[in-house]
Each structure stands twice: as structure tokens, then as C-alpha cells.
Structure 1
Amino acid sequence: MPRSPPKAGPASVMSEERRIKLGKVVGVHGVRGELKIESHTDPRDRLFRYQPWILCHARSERMVEGVRGHDNGRNVLAVFPDVEDRDQAQALIGAEIWVPRSALPPPAPGEYYWVDLEGLPVRTVDGIELGTVSHMLETGANDVIVVHGERERLIPFLKESVVKSVDMDGGGIVVDWDPDF
């Protein structure tokens, strides 16, 4: 399952479309204005494919296009077209990187972006409603659906053995899961 940002935001002033958080500026690198980025994409440097970015920082938003960068193994480093020195770079620490949902390519058949699963109803194979998908977790072994209903449930996203079907057009997710667990 492609990992997309786990966090989706409401439409912004700049766009009526749902936005997806791809990362955050977390530091500077060197003296020429390179920025360290915390990326929520997999692989980490995939975030450079989805532009323009909407930078949200200090209660303001601005569009940024033409950001270049790479994963150097230790960090994801970025060069913004309008940032030329360390001082300008430091002013961007803490900025969140968002894109419109439409900037992401369609997932392959049978795969889903996490953000697209959020809000879907979840029910058992016997038709018992468990709640709705709040968000997803990455555990290393497998992804986990966090379902909020009369209580919170953590359900492994294991196709075929647990997740029997996913209907993005309103049908929701059907799971083989004990409702008492």
C-alpha cells in the first residue's frame, strides 16, 4: 500500500481542494540555504515529484514551485528557488509542506493512499458496524487501521486475511474481525 501523508487538511484559502501534508522543514544544511526536510512520503525523496507546494508557516501560506532536492541517506535536503542563504533558510524552519490531493497520482489497482481511507466506515463480514477510519499507523510489520466507533480499535491492514474488501465509493471497508476485540 503506498504510504501517503497520514495527515489531511481542510481546503485552504488558496484552494477549495483537500490538501495533503507531505512534510515539514526541520533544519538548515550548510550556508547556501539548503533545508532539511522531514518527509512523509515513501521513498522520502518522492515529495519532490509533487509540486507546487503550499508552505504553511507563521499563520501564512505561499505557493513554492521548482524545489529541488535529494535524500543523502541521512536527511532529505531541499533547495528552494528563492532561498539563497542560511538566514533565509532558518526563517523557514517549522514550515509545513502541503499539496492538493490532485497532485498525487492515482494509486495502482488494489492499493490505497492512507488519506483516502480516512473517514470510510468499517464493518465486519457479518455487517456489524465498528466505526470509521480515523487514521493509519505504520508499524513495520504491517499497516494498521485506527477505527473510531463506540471505542477505538486497531485493526491490521492485511488484505485477504483481515481486510476483505475496500469500496472507495461509499461502501467502506469490510473486515474479518471480532467486534469484541
Structure 2
Amino acid sequence: MPSPEPARTQLRVGRLVKAHGLKGALKLELYTDEPDRRFAPGAAFTLQVPDTSPWSGKTVTVREFRWMNSHPVVFLEGIDDRTAAESIVRAILWIDADPDAPAEDEAWYDHQLVGLRVFRGDDEVGSVVRVDHLPAQDLLIVRPAGTDTEVLVPFVKAIVPLVDIGAGRVEVTPPPGLFEAVPDDAPPAADH
């Protein structure tokens, strides 16, 4: 009997933001600290796109990666003009992670985050039940202890200043009302 294939771990490394020029170039939003290595010619990516997209279920391969006016730009095989580039805008790029490669700073796999206990100061407020990857930012989905509700926590440094995989904890500094109801007589938040 053949042994089952091991589960693949994927790492999100970028999002195609917009078409650039007439020859199929695409500006990138990077989710990696090593863009020159991740986007080397020949690198292949799995696409996260809506099921209705003509790119659904397909992969793309890097033809060329360069910096233009301090912006990362990628050329993909088979995308040779602006029309083709515009058809793939907003796709999120994923790669199969090499389990033996050193981890990037402040980069975690979803399976490392799920199950971590979430603390606000010294108070445990719940645990991470999943991670949602949205075009604008990632969200930690936290289930407060003893409830069936879910709290969507923006996974940004200002709100999640510490992730300690070894200690099994995430520290959050949420705005008022994220984990509890804000009283009706609460003063409005100050504009910055």
C-alpha cells in the first residue's frame, strides 16, 4: 500500500497589484523579506483567485523580476501585454514552502498560529482558530474562551505586537470594542 503524500505547507509571498506598462509587467505587493530570491526567474506560484476567474486552478512562472522606481515589478510567462496583465490583477501568489529553509523574520505558517492562546496584557482573551488571508491584510480569527463567537483581529504589528510560537502565545493591543462591547456613553475616539 503506498504511503499517503505529506501535507504541503504553502507560504504567501505576494499580491499582483496592477498592470504596469504595455508589455505585461505587474506591480507587486510583497509579503516576503527576500523578494529577489522568491521571484527569481523560473519560480512558480499557485494563484489565489476567485473560482470564477479564468486563472482559477492555474499556476504562473516568473520570467523576470526587477525594481522600477523602487517598486517591485514581475513579468510572468504567458502574460505578454497589458490586457493579459489586467486579467490577473489582485491574485495572491503562494509557493510550496521548503521545510528545511530558514524561516523569515516575523513570518509564520498558519498551522503555527492556530491554537495559540491570545493575551491582552496578563489576561487571556481566547485562542487563534484560523488565519484568513485577505487582499488588504491577514486576519487572526480568535475565539474568546467559553464562546462560539469569533473576533476578527487585523494581523498588523500595531494590534498584534508579539507572536511567540515557543511560548504558545500571541499578545494583542486591540482598539476598544474589539473584544467587548463599548458602552453607549463612551467618548468618541480622538481623531489623529
User: How large is the Cα RMSD of the aligned pairs?
Assistant: 4.1
**Among 9, 15, 21, which residue is 1:18 paired with?**
9
Listed as ranges, the gaps of 5+ residues in structure 2 are: 1-5, 132-139, 146-150, 154-158, 172-192
Counterpart residue type for residue 91 of structure 1: S
Counterpart residue type for residue 25 of structure 2: E
Q: Distance in 1 between matches of 2:16 and 2:165?
A: 34
The TM-score with structure 2 as length reference comes to 0.54
**Aligned residue number for residue 117 of structure 2:** 122
Q: CA deviation at 1:150?
A: 2.3
- 1:100 corresponds to 2:96: yes
In our comparison, the structure showing a higher alpha carbon Rg is 2
**Which shifted more, 44-53 or 67-76?**
44-53
**Aligned residue number for residue 45 of structure 2:** 53
The TM-score with structure 1 as length reference comes to 0.56
- 1:66 corresponds to 2:58: no
**Aligned residue number for residue 132 of structure 1:** 127
- 1:129-157: CA deviation from partner (whole Å, max 9, x where unpaired): 5533466xxxxxxxxxx683427685532
Q: Do 1:25 and 1:37's aligned partners in 2 also have CA atoms closer than 8 Å?
A: yes
- The alignment-based identity, stated in percent, is 22
**Aligned residue number for residue 39 of structure 1:** 30
- 1:84-114: CA deviation from partner (whole Å, max 9, x where unpaired): 1222212212222111233782227xx5523
Counterpart residue type for residue 150 of structure 1: P
Q: Do 1:121 and 1:129's aligned partners in 2 also have CA atoms closer than 8 Å?
A: no
Q: Distance in 2 between matches of 1:101 and 1:150?
A: 31
SS of the residue corresponding to residue 39 of structure 2 reads: helix
Q: Which has the higher contact order (CA 8 A, sep 6+)?
A: 1
**Aligned residue number for residue 161 of structure 2:** 156
Listed as ranges, the gaps of 5+ residues in structure 1 are: 1-14, 136-145, 158-162, 176-181
Counterpart residue type for residue 94 of structure 2: W
Q: CA deviation at 1:46?
A: 5.2
Counterpart residue type for residue 21 of structure 1: R
